[in-house]
Structure 1
């Protein structure tokens, strides 16, 4: 835990981390970006808090800019420390322990970002959207199917973020920051667009998350692809990290 805390403290103190976390304020811009209060009131995503949060997370996910900043942070945790020989300070420690601690610290930052986004969305929805539009202010949608589908989509987006962390970590061990960052963005862009392409849709977790009528197939599809993508990136990254000369 001490190692994880030490790594996380060094990450959170970076300027890029503060910029990344600032994107959690995006929900506060939703009313400002709306063309009119009437159009905002007629939007489905304002009917309940969960739908509002789902829309905010989807906008952040497809915006790519937050993940660009986050990828720079991920790369710095590995590439910059390798180039600057800082990892020499850990030469007597188990390399798997170091690798896992770095990933966990990055997962914590990602989780903090999502939590802050949820809190900002909650405040924005109940202090601005509900009073101004005279909405009922329900927390969850009345339709259980819509709720389950939304949870699956949000969960899939979260898992894709975890995969990007592992992927950028893997590439940054051997390659420069620009290569690692672009690889992460390229992967994420393909995961977003693949559901629209007949030949590639079955390789995208979001395709299965968007399927309606068979929750089991959707859940299995998402989890199988996550295990394959994350498992490959984690095992390959760990193997390369063990070979790095401190």
Structure 2
């Protein structure tokens, strides 16, 4: 994080689209509202007394990532951070600052925004679980799953979903340097769809961090954790290096 990261983050928070994106972090609390009506919409199901808070939080993150609308808003926000400056040629305001510092600050601001989104999601899930779901027969009331296997599966699921979410935003950032907002959104959505489908395919389930929940019968928990972390580090490094190269080539 450099000295420009927080200013970029604060500017990001002022966008109308950012407020819409953060509203999706309150998604778990819809369960409380839905519970007031006799409907099967958003109904949860699990064996009696089995669903812990961490498992519920994992399900919330997975559902949020699979929902198209929140991703579209996030990708659009990321694309405007880079593309709007390029299109309007306003980067002259930073002519005495290196491109690397600017890129790092923008990416840092995006990551802080993601952390804020995940933090609000966590606490809205916590409130929903311990004020409403705890009274349902399928919840255990426990913070963690009942057994070690479920705990390991849940940790891999949460970490894999978060890391692939970060990668999706990095791909959108890279795309926005060379593509218009419309094409950037298309690239980001395609990446998200592929990363969602890939874990269910034998040939591609090892390609994305979120695929390792399906290979815990092949690898140990420690190996799965190590591999998905290494995958993320490799992908993020490559995307960053390419982004910096392209950003340095921009002419104003």
Q: TM-score, normalised by structure 1?
A: 0.91
How far, CA to CA, are the matches of 1:171 and 1:45 in structure 2? 45
Larger deviation, residues 100-109 vs 121-130: 121-130
Unaligned runs of 5+ in 1: none
Q: CA deviation at 1:227?
A: 2.3
Please give the residue correspondences for 1:95-244 in structure 2 after superposition, counting only pairs within 5 Å: 95-131=99-135, 133=137, 136-213=140-217, 214-244=220-250
Q: CA deviation at 1:133?
A: 4.9
Aligned length: 245
How far, CA to CA, are the matches of 1:85 and 1:10 in structure 2? 18
Per-residue Cα deviation, 1:21-48 (whole angstroms, up to 9, x for no partner) = 0001110123455746xx7475579722
Match of 1:92 in 2: 96
How far, CA to CA, are the matches of 2:49 and 2:85 in structure 1? 43
How far, CA to CA, are the matches of 1:156 and 1:132 in structure 2? 28
Q: CA deviation at 1:221?
A: 2.8
Q: CA deviation at 1:135?
A: 5.3
Per-residue Cα deviation, 1:158-208 (whole angstroms, up to 9, x for no partner) = 111111121111110111011111111111110110122233333232222
How far, CA to CA, are the matches of 2:15 and 2:207 in structure 1? 35
Unaligned runs of 5+ in 2: none
Q: CA deviation at 1:10?
A: 1.0
Kept in 1: contact 2:4–2:105 (CA 8 A) = yes
Kept in 2: contact 1:49–1:122 (CA 8 A) = yes
DSSP 3-state at the match of 1:30: helix
DSSP 3-state at the match of 1:201: coil
1:3 matches 2:9: no
How far, CA to CA, are the matches of 1:172 and 1:40 in structure 2? 38
DSSP 3-state at the match of 1:202: coil
Kept in 1: contact 2:164–2:208 (CA 8 A) = no
How far, CA to CA, are the matches of 2:213 and 2:177 in structure 1? 31
Kept in 1: contact 2:48–2:139 (CA 8 A) = no
Q: TM-score, normalised by structure 2?
A: 0.89
How far, CA to CA, are the matches of 1:121 and 1:43 in structure 2? 20
How far, CA to CA, are the matches of 1:204 and 1:136 in structure 2? 31
